[in-house]
Homo-oligomer: A and B are copies of this chain.
Amino acid sequence: MDALATLIDWLRIPSISSDPAHNGDTRRAAEFAAQLLANLDHVELIEAPGRHPLVYADFLHAAGRPTLLFYGHYDVQPPEPLNEWHSPPFEPAIRRDPHLPGDNLYARGSADDKGLALTLIWAVRQMLEERGSLPVNVRFLIEGEEESGGEHIEQFVATHPERLAADAAVIADTEMFAPELPTLCVGLRGIIYGEIHVEGARTDLHSGVYGGAAPNPLQAMAEIITALKDHNGHITIPGFYERVSPPSPLERAAWARLPFDEAAYLAREVGSPELTGEPEIALFERLWARPTFEVHGIRGGFIGEGAKTVIPARAVAKVSFRLVADQQPAEAVEQIRQAIAAATPRGVRAKFELLHAAAPSLVDASNRYVQAAAQAMTDTFSAETVFTRSGGSIPVVGLFDQHLHIPSIMLGFGLPDDNLHAPNEKLYLPNFFRGIDATRRLMDRIGSFSI
């Protein structure tokens, strides 16, 4: 079997974990992953009621050697808006961009995360086929709820740490800083995802008859949103920044040395008139080491064709807050609730409904597993590995830290313009194959450690 053909088959399955209409597809993607791990021992779909299965497998035959816990996820983000895709999200297509020599594979899940998860799986399969053994002990835990809250893995890790005993976790769900720059991510933002609900009148009302007397929940929502973040990108929730730990001077200096063209980033990646965020804070620190508040969508009233003069009875905003070390999700949720209560105008009721939360994480870069990974990456790419952080959230890193007490090695094989969570998600295929190579090198290096 061929690694790329296998990936394409996996990507054809629309495993959108947040959409119950795709529950069957999500299960098929889990079964596909289990099939890929069939050469290992104890291959199992770990089930829980109403949850997408965890895919588990292990191969524990390297006595006296470290155990690595490989993590990835088989679920994907919803593909909307569909009309902005140049090829259908679940019909993988290979196209080349002018600015890089290799091909791209376009599909929802190509970079986030099936393509990267498969680098880990394929490296292990290949070694096993070639050698009949592995230099380290391995466990796989591939989840199906990374894009929809991850409650199943959270419960499983918390209640079955003995089944996941390992020395380090290896996570392929981050990106390289630049196309030929091997990158290890040592910090992740946490997240609080939820909904702000605002209720006004009992029913939708005519804005001519009631305008001037009835509360408008969309107006109230705008007031609440602007009360949580000012026009300079500062979150104005009391206490929200209190636990924010600034990066060390060494880390700031390293970030300042990263090869980076802010004008090109603005023009090619973002494409807005200018960048935004806290003006007094440098870009990487804003992206990696500062909390954020973002509105993802606002429901309520009339958004169809034409003109409907309705004062909606209710409005819901889908929002998230990114957290950074050492913020604590439970405390932050309480701060958010109080700030929303304080900002709620008269005439409406408002509440915050938490959908999921994950703690931020920071890994010590001097750890020998992290150092081994850096060397493996440097060898594969023939370039010095850089240490970065990521603005995204990978909740399992916090879980593994809290319950398994192990560091996480975040191998980055994605690229910054992979359009994660957006139309035209892609994977740069040379990195897919280098990812397999680097994972093999990593296993060989760590296989030389005694424990």
A213 sits at the interface (CB 8 A): yes
Among B205, B216, B275, B347, contact of A213 (Cβ-Cβ < 8 Å)? B275
Among the listed stretches A39-47, A66-74, A220-228, A433-441, which one makes contact with chain B, having 4 or more residues with CB under 8 Å of it? A220-228
Complex interface: stretch among A95-103, A160-168, A283-291, A371-379? A283-291
- Nearest neighbor of A421 in chain B, beta-carbon distance: B206
A197 at the interface (CB under 8 A from B): no
State A218–B224 Cα separation when bound (angstroms).
13
Q: Which B residues lie within 8 Å of A80 (CB)? A: 302, 304, 308
Specify how many copies of this chain sit in the oligomer: 2
Interface hit among A56-64, A266-274, A401-409 = A266-274
Q: Across chains A and B, which 8 residue pairs bring their CB atoms closest together, nearest first?
A: A18-B306, A208-B392, A202-B271, A297-B301, A212-B286, A211-B292, A276-B347, A297-B303
Q: Most B CB atoms within 10 A — which of A199, A203, A221, A349?
A: A203
Residues 300-342 of A, flagged 1 when their CB comes within 8 A of B and 0 if not, give 1111111111111000111010100000000000000000000
Any chain B CB within 8 A of the CB of A53?
no
Q: By the criterion CB–CB under 8 Å, are B203 and A271 in contact?
A: yes
Given the known A-B contacts A211-B322, A213-B275, are A20 and B305 also in contact in the complex, defined by CB atoms under 8 Å? yes
Interface residues of A, Cβ cutoff 8 Å to B = 17-20, 77-78, 80-81, 84, 147-149, 175, 189, 191, 193, 199-216, 218-219, 221-223, 225-226, 229, 231, 233, 269-278, 283, 286-287, 290, 292, 294-312, 316-318, 320, 322, 345-349, 355-356, 390-393, 416, 419-424
Q: List 6 interface pairs A-B (beta carbons < 8 Å), by A numbering.
A: A189-B208, A209-B391, A210-B270, A212-B278, A213-B287, A307-B356
Additional 16 contacts, C-beta under 8 A, given A202-B272, A211-B292: A18-B306, A77-B308, A78-B304, A78-B308, A80-B302, A206-B421, A207-B292, A208-B393, A209-B392, A212-B391, A219-B294, A222-B222, A297-B312, A298-B303, A307-B356, A308-B421
Decide if B305 touches A209 in the complex (CB within 8 Å). Answer: no
Tell which of B18, B273, B287 touches A307, judged by Cβ atoms closer than 8 Å.
B18
Contact present for A307 and B208 (CB under 8 Å): no
B206 touches A420 (CB 8 A): yes
